Amino acid sequence: EAGVAQSPRYKIIEKRQSVAFWCNPISGHATLYWYQQILGQGPKLLIQFQNNGVVDDSQLPKDRFSAERLKGVDSTLKIQPAKLEDSAVYLCASSLGPSTGQETQYFGPGTRLLVL
Amino acid sequence: QKEVEQNSGPLSVPEGAIASLNCTYSDRGSQSFFWYRQYSGKSPELIMSIYSNGDKEDGRFTAQLNKASQYVSLLIRDSQPSDSATYLCAVNRNQGGKLIFGQGTELSVKP
């Protein structure tokens, strides 16, 4: 079974530029998560989708971050414009069914973003 | 007060010893608890989940949960150098699937 796929793996941009990350979850997984992990910290949830609907985006900086999962499968996370403090690893995760609180979340390899 | 707190470490133990990792959480209504392992430069992988008070064992790993004390721990028996990683405690406060992670404890197992 293929795991969660993410691209690109690394990205270097200058502040005020825009960037987009792509995630393809495990086949059949209904729930998709985007996390931000700053060096030395645990992951922080940015947005959670169930199929193509948003379940939780309370910690997404909506003035600069946007995300979509139009067909309920793959997803894109965008930052525009980027700030220095956005330098982090962006992790995508997926889980099988509707959120019950006990399902396993499987993480992709992440995209490492450096903003100069 | 952080929602999920862990000692950042590093925790250093000799090979073959028991490693004890601790985590406290602030929301008394939290229902599900997870331990993830994260090797340097890699993504987190789930190693244990626990939902009710008491102990849960899986091979060399034992998770312990005490909801009254708002405390969850992970014991690693017969620690191996390959166990050297950062261990992340994660808590689900309700049925919505949102995980709150601690900052992680770095474990180093010395041969």
Q: Which of B30, B43, B47, B95 to mutate to test the interface with A (most CBs of A within 10 A)?
A: B43
pLDDT above 70 as % of chain B: 97
- Closest C-alpha to A30, from A45, A51, A49: A51
Computed over every residue of chain B, the mean pLDDT equals: 93
pLDDT for res B24: 97
Least confident range of A57-61, A94-98, B12-16, B42-46: A94-98
Restricting to A residues 6-25, those with a Cβ less than 8 Å away from any Cβ of B are none
Percent of chain B with pLDDT over 90: 84
The minimum CA-CA distance between B87 and chain A, rounded to whole Å, is 10
* Residue A57 touches chain B, beta carbons under 8 Å: no
**Average pLDDT of the residues in B33-54:** 95
A109 chain-B contacts, CB cut-off 8 A:
42-43
Nearest CA-CA partner of A26 in A91, A109, A110, A107: A107
Q: Checking DSSP bridges between strand A44-50 and strand A31-37, what pairing results, if any? A: antiparallel
Cβ contacts below 8 Å, chain A against chain B, sum to 63
Q: What is the pLDDT of residues A55-105, one digit of tens each?
A: 999 999 999 999 999 888 999 999 999 999 999 999 999 998 766 777 889
Task: Identify the band that residue B7 occupies on the pLDDT scale cut at 50, 70 and 90.
Answer: confident
pLDDT band, very low/low/confident/very high, at A1 (cuts 50, 70, 90): low
Among residues B45, B37, B64, the alpha carbon closest in space to that of B53 is found at B64
* pLDDT at residue B71 is higher than 80: yes
A102:B101 CB<8 A = no
Distance (Å) from the alpha carbon of A47 to chain B's nearest alpha carbon: 9
Which residues of chain A make contact with B44, given a CB cutoff of 8 A? 43, 91, 107
pLDDT confidence of residue A98: 67
pLDDT of residue B95: 61
Does A53 reach chain B within 8 Å, measured CB to CB? no
pLDDT tens, position by position, A18-50 = 999 999 999 999 999 999 999 999 999 999 999
Give dist(CA A74, CA B25) in Å, integer: 33
Instruction: Give the model's confidence band at A52: pLDDT under 50 very low, under 70 low, under 90 confident, else very high.
Output: confident
Q: B34-58 b/e with 16+ CB inside 10 Å = b?
A: bbbbbeeeebbeebbbbeeeeeeee
Partners of residue A48 in chain B, C-beta under 8 Å: 96-98
**Measured between CB atoms, which of A42, A48, A108 is closest to B98?**
A48
